[in-house]
Amino acid sequence: MKKNKYIVFLILINSFILIKTDLNSQQLPQYTQWASHQFLINPAHAGIKNCMDIHSLYRVQWLGFEGAPKSGFLTLSTPLGLKRKTVLSARQGIGARVETDNIGQFSSTRLNIAFSNHYNFTPDTRLSLGVSAGFVQFGYNTQNTITINPDPTVTKTSNFTKFDATFGAWWNGKNYYFGLILPNLIHAKWENIGSNSKFRSHIYMNSGCRYSFNPKLTLLPSFLLKIPPAGPLVLDLNILFDFQNKFALGVGYRNTDAILFLANLKIKQQLTVHYSFDLVLSHLRKGTVNTHEISISYSSCKAKNTKVAACGLFE
């Protein structure tokens, strides 16, 4: 048990790079099912559908490993107006996001409100711009913290609340989309945690497309590239095979640590249950098992074509 605690603490140091160093690493939770929950990462998706959209997810990473990450969220978005005077006039949307993330002694809770503008250049092409703002409560609990050598820097309990903001852009056609997201825009310092610790900006880019082989089978490839302020780039590559917009099976690859398996089951077109499994490939596999996500999404939209899967929310 003590050995596990040592390992967890070393992982935390490596992940956050907090203690007495000028390096930075990825500070945000990752999700395998990001393609099914675009508003979670991109505020430009607030109200992008012509209806209310609700998503929730729970992720258990490295199940069975002491101090391993646990993350979850609940999002809601809705349009402010459905009609526009001209094609190029903007339509607005709003949304809200609550997200929690826990890893070892670290915990965070984010509450954000998002606002977006959607510009249709043609009936099938759209540019969306959005921003979310709110608060992040961040905590560090020294209970059960064990270091190889005594270090007073990591024995101070900390709990604080800071402002939080994200910018997002989105472009889509009928069968493709591109996204750009800039989270952690406010570089707030972390109180009583190291000497140079603060939230730092990241860059996310994603894209996907839709290809229908026949009325029964639709192919949905996508990728998400995450660029942290330091450390390796993280690239998720996914491909979903959708069967008559009723259920989908997919496989993916994350360059840093895992092969991904995904499954979606749609219930009466408006309710969807999602499940994913990450098969860990990194050295952690020797001391842990794998990662699971389960989520539920609900949309009050009624699809025009119930037999073809949506690509990036083309409503």
Is residue 44 within 8 A of residue 130, CB to CB? The reply is yes
Q: Which of 113-117, 127-131, 147-151, 232-236 has the lowest mean pLDDT?
A: 147-151
How many Å apart are CA 95 and CA 43, to the nearest integer? 8
How many Å apart are CA 184 and CA 202, to the nearest integer? 7
Could you tell me the two tokens for 130?
């959005």
Determine how many CB atoms are found less than 10 A away from the CB of residue 154.
Answer: 19
Could you tell me the two tokens for 206?
């994603």
> Options 3.20.20.70, 2.60.15.10, 3.90.1150.10, 2.40.160.40; which CATH number does 2-299 get?
2.40.160.40
pTM > 0.75: yes
The percent of residues above 70 in pLDDT, for the chain, comes to 76
How many Å apart are CA 268 and CA 153, to the nearest integer? 54
Is residue 94 within 8 A of residue 82, CB to CB? The reply is no
Q: Is the pLDDT of residue 123 over 70?
A: yes
Question: Domain map of the chain by residue range?
Answer: 2-299
Q: DSSP string spanning 84-104? A: -SSTTS-EEEEEEEEEEEEET
Q: Give the pLDDT confidence of 24-42 residue by residue, as tens digits.
A: 445 788 999 999 999 999 9
For 111, 190, 270, 291, the CA distances from 56, given in Å and listed in that order, are 14, 28, 14, 17
Is residue 62 within 8 A of residue 284, CB to CB? The reply is yes
* Strand segments (E) across the chain: 53-60, 70-79, 91-103, 106-122, 125-140, 158-172, 176-182, 203-209, 211-214, 217-227, 234-243, 247-254, 258-267, 271-280, 291-299
Could you tell me the two tokens for 93?
């949307």
Ramachandran angles phi, psi of 24, nearest 5°: -140, 155
Q: Give the pLDDT confidence of 252-266 residue by residue, as tens digits.
A: 999 988 999 999 999
